[in-house]
Structure 1
Amino acid sequence: MAISLSRRRALVSGLAAASSLAMPVTLRAQEATRRNVSSFITQDWRDHFDELGVATIVADTSSRALHYWNADGSDYRLYPTSVPRTDELTKRGYTRIVRKKVGPDWTPTASMMERFPEYRYMPPGPDNPLGTHAMYLDWPAYLIHGTHDTRKIGRRSSDGCIGLYNEKIEELFQLCPVGTQVRLI
């Protein structure tokens, strides 16, 4: 069976392809953002906690989103995140923020050193994988932190932590007191 391709069909196909390339970069970025935002799964804090406490976070690893509610529920925010590379690196359950630090330093864990022997301690700065702010959970070595590598957001890219854009972790850092309850799902 032969497939015939008319000049008109070829012209229409070519114009459609060219028009998507000619679309301004900002419109293509907005389209990509719409696709990413639509993949977020709506969460309700009541599905996870009996009360809001001082503040509440639900980090959803499947939709790669962090949901925040303040103490009275009047402020709800949604942030795109990076999530652990594999399910084995993902700890799920209930925890809370026990410490916060601006300009965190980074020390690789023992399991990281087994997999990546070249890893070394890193002081605060532009190469630090924890970004500009970190909130430490009561699970050892698990954090909600920023990242200087913005390509990681929206991807499975961490060794267990939840990462946010630096400007978003700075915002969340100001909103979340120590004691904020957290659930990773």
Structure 2
Amino acid sequence: MFNLDGLLTAKNGRRLGLTAGALALGLLISGSANAAQPLLFPFLPLPLPVYAAPAPVMPQATPQIEADDEATTAETPERFKRQIVGYQTREAAGTIVIDTGNTYLYYVLGGGRAIRYGIGVGRQGFTWSGTQSITRKAEWPNWTPPSEMIARQPYLPRFVAGGPHNPLGARAMYLGGTIYRIHGTNDPSTIGGRVSSGCIRMTNEDVTDLYSRAHVGTKVVVMPIERRAESASGRQG
């Protein structure tokens, strides 16, 4: 039997006595809890269980979706790009002549020259001809489809606010008391086509240029589709 009293001395009896008491208590608990596995140092605190911290979950990168450049940067054919050409006409400088058959619009400069623009015109059954004048101009105009158009296409919205997604584009010039306009488009691929309900379409860049030159009162001559411009050599000046 291990003699605890033999370890006590007069000098440090109190300290060793406390230690011996703790040792005895530890042996007693150890024996009652698990006799097969005695604790050698029962007075030391039992280690707490260690739990591994979960590995951090890293957010997965969102894949980049590339824009369809081909759909958004379609190149305008060279012949429909704005250019100064030789153009003989009896119309005065400042007149707009619309060559429906060739899908060109001319702004007469005088001296045998004109600025030629590519345009989109009315589809079959919606072409027209005659002489009008610009009665109103608007930047980024709202679009309210006329009743004639709604009757043919009842699914159309009744109002579209001006902006990049508006079918009238960046500028509009209203012709006389008709429902027709010279206007921009948010679909430049229609330039050179016969796609409208009678309005004259231009790219937003071109209609903005024409808008800066023409004014309220400007004469607009719309030629029949069977008739071509009087003289348009295509020579750049």
TM-score, shorter chain, exceeding 0.5: yes
Deviation at 1:134, TM superposition (A): 0.3
* Secondary structure of the structure 2 residue equivalent to 1:167: helix
Structure 2 CA distance, aligned partners of 1:66 and 1:78? Answer: 6
- In 1: Cα distance, 2:144 partner to 2:179 partner: 10
Within the candidate set 26, 47, 65, 2:104 is matched to 65
Aligned residue number for residue 150 of structure 2: 113
Aligned residue in 2 for 1:82: 120
CA contact (8 A) 2:171 2:204 kept: yes
Q: Which runs of 4+ in 1 moved over 4 A?
A: 72-75
With over 3 angstroms needed to count, the CA separation of the structure-2 counterparts of 1:158 and 1:122, relative to structure 1, is: same
Look up the SS of the partner of 1:148 in the other structure. coil
Whether the 8 Å CA contact 2:89–2:112 is kept in 1: the answer is: no
C-alpha contact 1:45 1:56 (8 A) present in aligned 2: no
Q: Distance in 1 between matches of 2:216 and 2:146?
A: 23
* Count of residue correspondences: 145
State the alpha-carbon separation in 2 of the partners of residues 85 and 62 from structure 1: 11
Task: Judge which range, 58-67 or 90-99, deviates more.
Answer: 90-99
Within 5 A, what are the aligned runs for 1:2-41? Answer: 33=78
Q: In the alignment, residue 128 of structure 2 is paired with which amino acid?
A: K
Deviation at 1:90, TM superposition (A): 1.8
Give the counterpart letter for 1:158 in structure 2: S
Letter in 2 for 1:169: V
Percentage identity across aligned positions?
38
| Residue 129 of structure 1: how far off its partner (Å) | 0.7
Amino acid corresponding to residue 128 of structure 1 in structure 2: N
Q: Secondary structure at the match of 2:161?
A: coil
Cα distance in 1 for partners of 2:132, 2:195 equals 21
Q: 1:84 offset after TM fit, Å? A: 0.3
Counterpart of 2:171 in structure 1: which amino acid? H
What is the CA distance between 1:112 and its match in structure 2?
A: 1.2
The higher radius of gyration belongs to: 2
1:49-84 per-position Cα deviation (integer Å, ceiling 9, x unaligned): 3x44xx2010011000000024x5586200000000
Q: Note the C-alpha offset of 1:181.
A: 0.5
Give the match for residue 169 of structure 1: 207
- So what's the TM-score if we normalise by structure 1? 0.71
Structure 2: give runs of 5+ residues left out of the alignment: 1-74, 224-237
Between the aligned partners of 2:103 and 2:209, the Cα distance in structure 1 is: 18
Name 2:178's counterpart in structure 1: 140
* Cα distance in 1, alignment partners of residues 89 and 105 from structure 2: 12
- Within 5 Å, give how 1:121-136 maps onto structure 2: 121-136=159-174
Distance 1:91 1:43, change over 3 A: farther
Note if contact 1:45-1:58 (Cα within 8 Å) is conserved in structure 2.
no
